[in-house]
Amino acid sequence: MDLEKKIRSIHDLLQKKKFLQVKEELEKLLKKIPNNSYLLNLSGLTLQYLNDYKSAINFFILAIKNDEKNIAAMNNLANSYKNLLNYTEAEKIYKKILNIDHNYVHALNNYANLKIEINDHEEAIPLLEKAILISNQRNIKAIDIMLTLASVYQSINNLEKTREILDEIFSIKPKWSKAHKLLSEITKYSSDDSKSLSHIEEMKKILSDKELKDDDKLILSFALGKSLEDIKRYDQSFDYLQTANDLKKSLIISNLNDEIGLFKELIKKFDNIDLEKIRNKIETKKIIFICGMPRSGTTLVEQILSSHPKVYGAGELLYLENSINKNFLENSIINRQKIIDLQSSSSENVFLDYFKCFDIYNLDKNIITDKTPQNFKWIGFIKIFFPNAKIILCQRNPKDNCVSLFKNDFPSLTMNWSFDQEEIAEYYNEYHKLISFWKDKIPKDIYELNYERLIEDDKGEIDKLLEFCNLDLSEKCYNFTKFSKTPIKTVSVSQANKPIYKDSINSFDPYQKHLQKMLKKINKI
């Protein structure tokens, strides 16, 4: 057997993303040479690509057992733990790698990304800068790491530094769509500004390249949609937005039916459950859950609350949904008996895992915000496991809300419905039914915050919000752009880093004639 030739063949299959075939080939090889650290690591990596992180971990551990110096396997092991949201274990391994080789670029980059995920941007920045420096010394242009660094500076509203890094990227790769998209996000385009108009024309020129990949086309189309809206060329803007959404639809599989099915399942299973009787009695840190439709103002609300001296803004956390999926859902079907059994079962303790995830944050505050918008699905579970939690439901003009969804590219697989006009409207209608159910069930536990009222009377609405959260009035909350320490990592970053403004009210209006399918469906509410 020519092992080297076989490995080259496997790498070729990996490049072609034929992961199942790779998995089979590696299984055959490992039967003949079971203790080969390189092959064990490769097997783990293949399972990572297949999102089977738990199985991948076993292979990486074996790879390291057979070769303690296999830092590639160690790095992959840490990545798997990170993907499973076990940040504490992942951090330990990244630190171990960097103790062995403090110039290991992959670990520096991955560790930085972990720090970004837990909002520790101060620690992430030097890690990324070092990774870039080492890459430059090795004559490797680490533009992906540079773009991450630029995005970090954007999230903390240091736009000058963001532009500086983007200029450096453009000197290396002038047509890179992701960099142009980031530049479009931090730019307020003006028809009187030659630089603005020049960048729009530059993006159009790149987009006209017939060899351009579909991924790059949709990225640039979203960017052009935003930039042309800025200069009020709404018809052109919509054409690009439609192109972007059509391209996205061609690359994904919609999950609308799964989501609607889950909504109906939640209503059915929680209908006759008395949430007051089966509440968890464990005292924990106080959580403020900020939820609602994506693009309904959740980021803005978190920025306001996290400006308060007693509050830590944790951003969008996946812990709650992961725990529910793990413990209560079987093929998207909710096990109702497991919910009922909580009254007399220790299974309620599974949600203590939620708080274990915060160990790595080194929090000095007892009040935490979790602003994952789609936690609106889990309001029933929230009231069971976090009886002292505050639930804020952000509501916005449905037309503005849905049009905003159409204008943005969401990376989350749970939002594959958001690239089609009619699917967006249908999702919103079903969302409305679900939150109506929750409001009827626990009316005193949910605070509805209206986005438009917040814009019109920010001080009055902020005062009401703080009162609901049992927080003292704080001047810092009225000046949240100055005092909020929570980085913004969502598509809302450009808007939420600004003081409260009215431009987003009736933002659907310029697009009405193009979005009749969507708007007519929404009007049925």
Q: Is the dihedral of CA 387, 392, 398, 401 positive or negative?
A: negative
Q: Name residue 395's beta-bridge partners.
A: 450
Q: How many Cβ atoms from other residues are within 10 Å of residue 350's Cβ?
A: 16
Task: Give the tens place of pLDDT for each residue, 306-327.
Answer: 999 999 999 998 888 888 887 7
- Average pLDDT, integer, range 100-107: 96
Q: Name residue 302's beta-bridge partners.
A: none
* Gap between the Cα atoms of 449 and 452, Å rounded: 9
pLDDT above 90 for 442: yes
Helix (H, G, I), strand (E, B) or coil at 465: helix
Instruction: Out of 9-18, 219-228, 338-347, 472-481, give the one with best mean pLDDT.
Output: 219-228
pLDDT above 80 for 277: no
* Gap between the Cα atoms of 396 and 299, Å rounded: 13
**Both structure tokens of 27:** 């299984």
329-330 and 333-334 as β-strands: parallel, antiparallel, unpaired?
antiparallel
Largest CA distance in the chain: 76
Please choose, from the candidates 287, 289, 258, the residue with its C-alpha nearest in 3D space to the C-alpha of residue 414: 258
* Gap between the Cα atoms of 113 and 155, Å rounded: 13
* Gap between the Cα atoms of 29 and 7, Å rounded: 10
Task: Give the tens place of pLDDT for each residue, 143-202.
Answer: 999 999 999 999 999 999 999 999 999 999 999 999 999 999 999 999 999 999 999 999
Q: How confident is the model at residue 459 (pLDDT cuts 50, 70, 90)?
A: very high
pLDDT above 70 for 88: yes
Report residue 200 CA to chain centroid gap: 27
Please choose, from the candidates 65, 87, 69, 67, the residue with its C-alpha nearest in 3D space to the C-alpha of residue 78: 87
497 or 425, which is more confident?
425
The pLDDT value given to residue 155:
92
Question: Residue 348 in contact with residue 280, Cβ under 8 Å?
Answer: yes
The secondary structure of 187-225 as a DSSP string is ----TT-HHHHHHHHHHHHHHT-TT--HHHHHHHHHHHH
**DSSP assigned state of 499:** P
- Average pLDDT, integer, range 425-442: 96
497 or 379, which is more confident?
379
Encoded amino acid at 443, one letter: P
The pLDDT value given to residue 488:
65
* Gap between the Cα atoms of 75 and 107, Å rounded: 6
The pLDDT value given to residue 56:
97
**DSSP assigned state of 386:** -
Q: Name residue 312's beta-bridge partners.
A: 368
The pLDDT value given to residue 497:
52
Q: How confident is the model at residue 346 (pLDDT cuts 50, 70, 90)?
A: very low
Share of the chain above pLDDT 90, in %: 72
Per-residue exposure over 430-451, b if at least 16 CB sit within 10 Å of its own CB, e if not: bbbebbebbeebbeebbbebbb
Share of the chain above pLDDT 70, in %: 92
**Both structure tokens of 207:** 């987009």
Angstrom distances, CA of residue 267 to CA of 55, 165, 422, 426, 438: 35, 49, 23, 17, 8
Q: How confident is the model at residue 282 (pLDDT cuts 50, 70, 90)?
A: low
Q: Where are the alpha helices (DSSP H) in 287-392?
A: 298-306, 319-328, 336-340, 352-356, 379-385
The pLDDT value given to residue 524:
65
- Average pLDDT, integer, range 228-235: 97
List the domains of the chain with CATH numbers.
3-178 (1.25.40.10), 179-251 (no CATH), 256-522 (3.40.50.300)
Helix (H, G, I), strand (E, B) or coil at 74: helix
Those residues with Cβ within 8 angstroms of residue 88's Cβ, 6 or more apart along the chain or in another chain:
356, 359, 360
pLDDT above 80 for 132: yes
Q: How confident is the model at residue 466 (pLDDT cuts 50, 70, 90)?
A: very high
The whole model's pTM is what? 0.89
**Both structure tokens of 201:** 């024309």
The pLDDT value given to residue 344:
43
Those residues with Cβ within 8 angstroms of residue 465's Cβ, 6 or more apart along the chain or in another chain:
301, 304, 305, 392, 447, 449
Please choose, from the candidates 21, 41, 30, the residue with its C-alpha nearest in 3D space to the C-alpha of residue 3: 30
Question: Residue 34 in contact with residue 21, Cβ under 8 Å?
Answer: no
The pLDDT value given to residue 378:
94
Mean pLDDT of the chain: 90
The secondary structure of 133-181 as a DSSP string is HHHHHTT---HHHHHHHHHHHHHTT-HHHHHHHHHHHHHH-TT-HHHHH
Residue position matching structure tokens 């509410």? 525
Question: Residue 309 in contact with residue 476, Cβ under 8 Å?
Answer: yes
- Average pLDDT, integer, range 486-501: 59
pLDDT above 90 for 352: no
- Average pLDDT, integer, range 93-121: 96
